[in-house]
Amino acid sequence: MSPTRTSRTSRATRLSIQALIGFVVLALSLTTTTLNAGAHTKISHSNATSQLRDAGISWSSSGNCSDRYNSTCTSFEQINQETISGIKTLKRISGCTINATGGTEVGHASGTYSHFNGYKIDISKYTCVGNYIRNNFSYIGGAKYKSASGNIYYDEGNHWDITYYNCGCG
């Protein structure tokens, strides 16, 4: 083999290896992005209500409806899986009756960690759940309590407004 042909072959091999490494790095970064995005998987109203029902959690709506674009409805359309898992965790660890009264429907305050974006759920203000929150989570001021996992429980007077950054199940 001539030196020119050997150097071309070596160069081609190096380029192929660099391309392969680049592909592997890209694939790994896409996998990591997908896994991180999965941390806030959006689910349907039907999926959410099925999970709530199976966990013994009720929900109600002042308008007896589930239309996400009607403020008198209670919708769970596009709620984060972690929010549903979080309220199920609260039910399991507190042993309290829980009734969800607000989900992803319009009519709530906007923002990154909002109802519409799937991070929040409202629940009825029952004595059992209120006592559990006050006795087990840290008071952080302004009628707000923070769980060890970082989720925020806000006593808004006639209901609890809960922000789930994670499921609180770990």
Per residue, what are the HEC states of 96-164?
A: CCCEEEECCCCCCCCCCCCCCCCCEEEEECCHHHHHHHHHHCEEEECCEEECCCCCEEEECCCEEEEEC
Q: Per-block average pLDDT, block size 10, for the chain (170 residues)?
A: 55 55 45 46 97 98 95 97 98 98 95 96 98 98 97 98 91
Reported pTM: 0.76
CA dihedral 86→92→93→96, nearest 10 degrees, is 100
Q: Tell me, what's the pLDDT at 32?
A: 37
Q: Tell me, what's the pLDDT at 18?
A: 62
Domain chopping of the chain, boundaries: 3-39, 42-163
Q: Is the dihedral of CA 154, 58, 109, 41 positive or negative?
A: positive
Q: Tell me, what's the pLDDT at 134?
A: 98
Residue 78 CB partners (closer than 8 Å, separation 6+): 42, 43, 44, 68, 104, 118
Q: Tell me, what's the pLDDT at 8?
A: 56
